[in-house]
Structure 1
Amino acid sequence: MIVVTGATGGLGGAIVEHLLKRLPAGQIGVSVRDVGKAQHFADRGVRVRQGSYEDPAALRDSFAGARQVLLVSGNDPAADMVGLHRNAIEAAVEAGARRILYTSQQGAVPGNPYRPSDIHVATEAMLGESGVDWTALRNGAYGPLDQVLGPWQQTGVIAQPEDGPVPYTDRADIAEAIAVILAGDRSFDGPVTLTASAAVTFDDFTRIASALTGRTIKRILLDDEQWIADQLAIGVPEQLARLLLTWYQAARAGYFADAGPLLAELLGREPRTAADRLAAHLAA
């Protein structure tokens, strides 16, 4: 059995949907905080059990019988995510899982200034010490593009701090590829990187956006502190703004620059490009 955590979230839910296309529902289980939100999976024959990273005993029960456990990483900035991930890893080991897979992040290496990287680095280290086979799925950035580009559609400019090349990746492609790994016969040991096939910069986005809209979109480079001030002016808490700034700092330092071929290989096709994603956003 394959057990997926976080299956009522966007990534976890999409992974389960793809697994259902590849495996009998009886071979799939989910561990979720609220079983009511996973009723649509239970109705299709998926084993649904309650489990949360805060409750090791419930996790062990929800992982029982699992050959593989997929741990979808938590993202609560106020929580001790390393400790919660430790709970999940230990529960999977105690439940007898043969392989633990974990949704990590591209560039999860020591020294990356993007603060959530510290959580992934620590979690990958715990996986390495767990005594069972493990895979860290270092996913490319798949968040909403407006989150990093800003309100360019209204302003006609991408006014953000200095950036660097990033292989912006479609979450649906990542979900499908993870399902391929879980359902397949090929083992991936340690960290693997899943990204779009090419990295782009904000300068590239201005050209893409201009071509898609028929407008002249400009790139304005903001000083880091000016960007922080602008974020505070629109109501973003300073702690969150400074956390987001570390993402731009990591990008400009090259921590997200590498684009690997594995995602395309797993999908059997080219992943959606940054231009594809932007076009879809504009059409929505």
Structure 2
Amino acid sequence: MIVVTGATGALNGLTVEHLLERVPAERLGVSVRDPSRAEHLARRGIRVRRGTYDDPAALRRSFAGAEQVLLVSSSDIAADVVAQHRRAIDAAVAAGAQRILYTSTVGAGFDTPYPPLAIHAATEEHLAASGVPWTALRNGFYGDLPQLLGPWQRTGTIAKPADGPFPWVDRRDAAEAAAAILAGDAAYDGPVDLVPSPPVTLADFAAAASELTGRHIERAIVDDEAWVAEEVAAGMPEPAARFALSMFQATRSGHFAQSDPTLARLLGREPRSIADQLQDMRHG
């Protein structure tokens, strides 16, 4: 059995859908905080059990019988996320899982200005010490394109701090790759970079947006402190603005400049391009 956490969320919800195309529903289970939100999965024959990273006993019950467990990284900003991840890993080990997979991020490491990378690195350390075969799915960046780019469709400008190359991946591709690894015969041990090639910059987004719309979209660089002040004035809490700034700073120092063919190989095609994603955003 394959048990997936976070299956009512955006990323692993898509992963479950791709798994259903590859394995029978009775071989799938989900561990979710609120089983009522997973009734659509239960109706399709998937085992649904309650599990939360703050309740080790419930986690162990939700992982029972699993050969593989896919752990999604915690999004609880108020929690000790590394402790949550350790509890989840320990519960999977206690339940007898033969492999533990974890949604990490490319560039995971301790020497970085971007705090999530240290969280992922600490989680990977605990996986390595667990005694169970493990895989870290080091995904490229994905998420809210309007938030990343700002109101470029209205202003004609992508006005953000200076950036460097970073691997922006479509969440749908990350989910499909995870399902391919879970359902495939090949063992992926340790960290696996799941990134499109090559990495991109916001100037690349501006160029793609210009071609898509037929009008010039400018890439304007905003001073770090001026950008933080603008975001705070627009209603963003300053800690959140500085957290977002740290991502741009990490791209500038080359933390995300690597490329890897693994994602394309797992998909059997090239990943969705930034032009594809911009097109989807305009019509979404």
Normalized against structure 1, the TM-score is what?
A: 0.98
Q: Does 1:42 align with 2:42?
A: yes
What is the rounded CA distance, in whole Å, between the counterparts of 1:182 and 1:150 in structure 2? 35
1:231 match: 231
1:167 match: 167
Contact 1:209/1:217 (8 A) holds in 2: yes
2:188 match: 188
**DSSP 3-state at the match of 2:192:** strand
**DSSP 3-state at the match of 2:100:** strand
Q: Does 1:100 align with 2:123?
A: no
What is the rounded CA distance, in whole Å, between the counterparts of 2:149 and 2:134 in structure 1? 34
Misfit runs of 4+, over 6 Å: none
Q: Does 1:27 align with 2:27?
A: yes
**DSSP 3-state at the match of 2:188:** coil
What is the rounded CA distance, in whole Å, between the counterparts of 1:207 and 1:273 in structure 2? 13
The letter for the 2-side match of 1:39 is: E
What is the rounded CA distance, in whole Å, between the counterparts of 1:119 and 1:75 in structure 2? 12
What is the rounded CA distance, in whole Å, between the counterparts of 1:132 and 1:215 in structure 2? 53
1:132 match: 132
- What is the CA deviation profile of residues 148-170 of structure 1, one whole-angstrom value per residue up to 9, with x for unaligned ones? 21111111111100001112100
Contact 1:19/1:183 (8 A) holds in 2: yes
Residue 76 (structure 1) shift: 2.0
Residue 77 (structure 1) shift: 2.0
- What is the CA deviation profile of residues 232-278 of structure 1, one whole-angstrom value per residue up to 9, with x for unaligned ones? 01000001000010000011111111121101100111110111111
1:176 match: 176
The letter for the 1-side match of 2:224 is: D
Q: Does 1:57 align with 2:66?
A: no
Residue 205 (structure 1) shift: 1.6
1:253 match: 253
What is the rounded CA distance, in whole Å, between the counterparts of 1:114 and 1:128 in structure 2? 22
What is the rounded CA distance, in whole Å, between the counterparts of 2:276 and 2:197 in structure 1? 12
The letter for the 1-side match of 2:200 is: V
Equivalenced residue count is 284
1:81 match: 81
Residue 16 (structure 1) shift: 0.6
What is the rounded CA distance, in whole Å, between the counterparts of 1:203 and 1:22 in structure 2? 38
What is the rounded CA distance, in whole Å, between the counterparts of 1:41 and 1:229 in structure 2? 44
Unmatched segments (≥5 aa) in structure 2: none
1:153 match: 153
User: Please, which moves more after superposition, 139-148 or 58-67?
Assistant: 139-148
- What is the CA deviation profile of residues 82-101 of structure 1, one whole-angstrom value per residue up to 9, with x for unaligned ones? 00001100000000001000
TM alignment of 1:257-268, pairs within 5 A: 257-268=257-268
TM alignment of 1:183-222, pairs within 5 A: 183-222=183-222
What is the rounded CA distance, in whole Å, between the counterparts of 1:145 and 1:112 in structure 2? 23
The letter for the 1-side match of 2:69 is: V
Residue 147 (structure 1) shift: 1.7
What is the rounded CA distance, in whole Å, between the counterparts of 1:247 and 1:146 in structure 2? 16
**Matched-pair identity in %:** 61
1:121 match: 121
The letter for the 1-side match of 2:221 is: L
The letter for the 2-side match of 1:168 is: W
What is the rounded CA distance, in whole Å, between the counterparts of 2:231 and 2:120 in structure 1? 26
**DSSP 3-state at the match of 2:45:** coil
2:110 match: 110
Contact 1:85/1:123 (8 A) holds in 2: yes
The letter for the 1-side match of 2:114 is: Y
Contact 1:198/1:273 (8 A) holds in 2: no
